[in-house]
Structure 1
Amino acid sequence: MMSAPDNYHFNLPIFHYTVIGAPGILAMSIFSFSKPVATACFSAVVLIVSGFVSKETMAAQGSQNITGPDSVDSLLEKDKRRLRRYRDNWDLHKSQIYADTGLKFGFDYNALGLWASGSLGETDASSGAFRAFGRWDLSGEQVGERGSMVFKFEHRHAYTDVPPFNFGSETGYAGLLNTVYSDQGFRTSTLYWRQEFDRNRGLAFFGFLDVTDYTDIFAFGSPWQSFGNMAFESGSGTIGGLPDGAFGFMLGKMLTPNIYVVGGMVDANADATDISQGFQTFFEQFETFKSFDIGYTSGRDELFLNNWHVSFWQIDKREQAGRPSGWGVSFSASSQVKEVWQPFFRGGWSDGGGASYDASVSIGFGYVPASKNYLLGVGLNWASPSEEEYGDDVRNQWTSELFYRFAFSPNTELTLSMQILLNPALDNGRDSIVLPGLRFRGAF
């Protein structure tokens, strides 16, 4: 988290107190109507995250953002670091807007193309996405007590008949070759109130959330800028639902200098292309996705670099969508070695809920040089496709992905990738498929 400027004009203290209590009040109302097991588990989560922790144990700690690489905070910080040495008039103008109003914002355009060496249908897929994102600090001038409005609006559009999001089934692959490059049009991925509390040891979101911003976070888990395949992202393909633009709340806190917890509950029927229905589906249908993470890090400023955590999730049966209930657990371990190597070991198991895989294990590493002008990632995954989703006779499949991302200007990045699919589960007549890819990001 970054400290707010002292001279921004907006200061609305009423938000500070109202929004801190809102998630807890909402949670108590919700839990009173929930199933007994869910009520007990999530009541415990709320109590834990609310913070029966000695303040003395945390007094020496700095600020930290307990969210993933695709959260708005992470995007804004990443772009600021990259442009620090290359500030132009536009960047200086944005900095002045933040100093005057507390509004920090950015835009980017992203594009992805994939090509398959073999397929049951189409042999190529490509699409693009324009994103506008930002954070508007509206209350709490003190660092660690700030309240902000966070937003991320997108337009996702396909260049080909089949976008990368749907390309997996075309190739006979069980799973998603990329989780975000679709043809959905305008959508609201996030629109929520963000509240820091307890001197920046805690963080709360309330509004329309993207659960991948805080569930099973992973340094290389961004389909926009790191691995593209779902097998290397949240839950390694074993988490069902993973809604975004979903009405609900999240609470996260550093319990000690090294241990953190994050829990949340959102609408399982969320539709990011029409969030106006979010209140109705949440309160009337009350079919929810719930998650809880507990993790260890060597220091809160090294949350992404040295991180070991376990994630638990549960999703209710969705009557109108015809989707089953389910639950599961995933794990992740990653450490920085000699300041440039980042090996990881991740995986998960699921029981229903619409997850692509019943079980999945991923290993690999990232290489980040001191200059940070490029990133190399290598990953290998084994997965057992869900019998509930794909049938009893599907075979286990292996996935490997290699990507190389480099900046060829302060504002633009290019990523070359290669996915190799062995034993694609939905095409017994093919043993392997090679998928080269090309991805672009321009930020401004």
Structure 2
Amino acid sequence: MRLLIALTLSLTGSFAPSLPALAQTGGLSGPSSVEADLTPGDGLTDPQFRSTFPRNIAPGWFAWKEGLAEKEFKFNIDYLALGQSSGSDIGEGKAGGGIARFYGGWQATELGSLTFKIEHRHAYGAVAPQFLGLDGGALAITGTAFNDNGTMLTNLFWTQRGANGNWTLQVGQIDVTDFVDVYGLVSPYTGFQNLAFNTNPTINAPNPGLGIAGGVKLGSNFYAVASVADANADPTQPDFKVFDHGNLFKSLEIGYTSGFDRIYFDNVHLTLWHADAADDGSRAEDYGAAFSAAWFIDNQWMPFVRAGWSKGTAALYDRSFSTGIGYYGRNTDLAGLGLNWAQSRGVPGTQFTTELFYRFSISPGLQITPSLQYIHNPLTSTQDGFALLGIRARVVF
């Protein structure tokens, strides 16, 4: 199934995304998924890199990897680092953290494959970047995914596809943020860093855990995606307790795309979700809806509009509206500008967030991304607002 493949684009033009080889494997995978991360250069064409780092320091390693890929086993080892500095009047004022990841996939049969991802998330100091906004008095996740959770089993699932390419099924340790309410700029590893512009902050998405997800084509332009996953999942201690407590996260998405080879660049969808209350009382029942529209113009510009509503008992916000634009430049560079308006039940006021970033692709295996965030009227402090400067680096082996 060519539905739900990260960055699976078949375009023309000097800097247009192209259909990566992994698109042939199918799957429920967004821009932050294993399939997307295994695609060199995020699937963009016509790179003119002058640097080949880190390939130039370990050519034998990459040749060995290419040999395994010819035998249908593909993997990467990468490291991401994020440093942020806050202008808030309170809190630590700075944060740093890293993520070491080992991920890949094995195309075991023509229609079936195994996907895995193991990672270690850690902070360099007292505060991890994910929490710097909260530490500074804003109701904001300013460094999505860069926490201090330690070793995690993020993915270990089987994908099965229909022979006619019309459906895909995944079963195992899944991360619903790989496919729930995603668009082309959703990845915190290669795109925006603030949760306001990643998976919708009104969705109480669970941590990676046991689940099942499926996608199906509904004609030539429409599709549906559904999932059921462990609402209490803890990827640092994966287990099968979902069968004991039955606390589940459920989602259903109906979407439209100009073509299934452009699903994350030309996409309009509505997502409905529901999360059961935790039996131990730590989490109340929550549910909501999210809307997203993004369209690729001239194969370079991607304006987007995203909104969400939730009951508001567990998600970060109960009302959120985001808009912005992305620009794909030379050598797979990427720029993004996002604006967000949000409210949270029980907290008076409205918070506004702006993020601007530019991802420099130094080589196919090295990216540097400076960013600037500004949070106006932070909901959990009396400040007028404060800025955060950040720089993210990613190296792929």
The TM-score with structure 1 as length reference comes to 0.79
**Letter of the structure 2 residue corresponding to residue 128 of structure 1:** G
Correspondence for 2:384 among 424, 431, 439:
431
Higher relative contact order (CA 8 A, sep 6+): 2
State the partner residue of 1:202. Answer: 167
Correspondence for 2:156 among 177, 191, 194:
191
**Letter of the structure 2 residue corresponding to residue 77 of structure 1:** T
State the partner residue of 1:7. Answer: none
State the partner residue of 1:45. Answer: none
Matched, 1:170 2:135: yes
Does the CA-based 8 Å contact 1:115-1:437 persist in structure 2? yes
Does the CA-based 8 Å contact 2:207-2:231 persist in structure 1? no
- 3-state SS of 1:283 partner: helix
Partner Cα separation in structure 2 for residue 134 and residue 79 of structure 1: 16
Partner Cα separation in structure 1 for residue 143 and residue 355 of structure 2: 12
Correspondence for 1:299 among 248, 259, 262:
259
| Structure 1: gaps spanning 5 or more residues | 3-60, 141-145
After superposition, the Cα gap between the structure-2 partners of 1:198 and 1:244, relative to the gap in structure 1 and judged at 3 Å, is farther
- 3-state SS of 1:200 partner: coil
* 1:383-411 superposed Cα distances (whole Å, 9 cap, x missing partner): 012x2xxx34x311000000000111221
State the partner residue of 1:381. Answer: 340
Partner Cα separation in structure 1 for residue 293 and residue 42 of structure 2: 28
Does the CA-based 8 Å contact 1:133-1:153 persist in structure 2? yes
Shift of 1:82: 6.9
Matches of residues 56-75 of structure 1 in structure 2 within 5 Å? 65-75=27-37
* 1:19-43 superposed Cα distances (whole Å, 9 cap, x missing partner): xxxxxxxxxxxxxxxxxxxxxxxxx
Does the CA-based 8 Å contact 1:325-1:352 persist in structure 2? no
Correspondence for 1:419 among 370, 373, 376:
373
Shift of 1:119: 3.6
After superposition, the Cα gap between the structure-2 partners of 1:114 and 1:129, relative to the gap in structure 1 and judged at 3 Å, is same
Partner Cα separation in structure 2 for residue 77 and residue 355 of structure 1: 31
State the partner residue of 2:358. Answer: 404
The TM-score with structure 2 as length reference comes to 0.88
Partner Cα separation in structure 1 for residue 262 and residue 340 of structure 2: 25
Matches of residues 96-175 of structure 1 in structure 2 within 5 Å? 96-100=67-71, 102-140=72-110, 146-175=111-140
Matches of residues 5-404 of structure 1 in structure 2 within 5 Å? 65-79=27-41, 81=43, 88-100=59-71, 102-140=72-110, 146-235=111-200, 237-240=201-204, 242-275=205-238, 277=239, 279-280=240-241, 282-320=242-280, 322-369=282-329, 371-385=330-344, 387=345, 391-392=346-347, 394-404=348-358
Q: Which moved more, 1:257-266 or 1:166-175?
A: 166-175
**Letter of the structure 2 residue corresponding to residue 320 of structure 1:** D
After superposition, the Cα gap between the structure-2 partners of 1:103 and 1:409, relative to the gap in structure 1 and judged at 3 Å, is same
State the partner residue of 2:14. Answer: none
- 3-state SS of 1:139 partner: coil
Partner Cα separation in structure 2 for residue 162 and residue 435 of structure 1: 14
Shift of 1:245: 2.4
Partner Cα separation in structure 2 for residue 260 and residue 353 of structure 1: 30
Partner Cα separation in structure 1 for residue 146 and residue 152 of structure 2: 13
Does the CA-based 8 Å contact 2:307-2:322 persist in structure 1? yes
Partner Cα separation in structure 1 for residue 107 and residue 194 of structure 2: 34
Shift of 1:243: 1.9
Shift of 1:64: 5.5
Where is the strand percentage greater, Structure 1 or Structure 2?
2
Shift of 1:247: 0.5
* 1:80-107 superposed Cα distances (whole Å, 9 cap, x missing partner): 857997674433321211223x211111
Q: Which moved more, 1:63-72 or 1:193-202?
A: 63-72
Between the two proteins, what is the percent identity of the paired residues? 37
Does the CA-based 8 Å contact 2:41-2:332 persist in structure 1? no
Where is the helix percentage greater, Structure 1 or Structure 2?
1
Shift of 1:166: 1.7
After superposition, the Cα gap between the structure-2 partners of 1:79 and 1:376, relative to the gap in structure 1 and judged at 3 Å, is closer
Matched length:
368
| Structure 2: gaps spanning 5 or more residues | 3-22
**Letter of the structure 2 residue corresponding to residue 290 of structure 1:** K
* 1:179-207 superposed Cα distances (whole Å, 9 cap, x missing partner): 20011111011111111114222111100
**Letter of the structure 1 residue corresponding to residue 82 of structure 2:** L
Radius of gyration: which is bigger?
A: 1
Does the CA-based 8 Å contact 2:269-2:291 persist in structure 1? yes
* 1:293-335 superposed Cα distances (whole Å, 9 cap, x missing partner): 1100001111111100000100000122511001000000011
Does the CA-based 8 Å contact 1:208-1:244 persist in structure 2? no
After superposition, the Cα gap between the structure-2 partners of 1:98 and 1:409, relative to the gap in structure 1 and judged at 3 Å, is closer
Partner Cα separation in structure 1 for residue 207 and residue 106 of structure 2: 20
**Letter of the structure 2 residue corresponding to residue 419 of structure 1:** Q
Partner Cα separation in structure 2 for residue 92 and residue 201 of structure 1: 35
Does the CA-based 8 Å contact 1:215-1:234 persist in structure 2? yes
**Letter of the structure 1 residue corresponding to residue 73 of structure 2:** L
Q: Aligned Cα RMSD in Å?
A: 2.0
Does the CA-based 8 Å contact 2:366-2:395 persist in structure 1? yes
Does the CA-based 8 Å contact 2:26-2:161 persist in structure 1? no
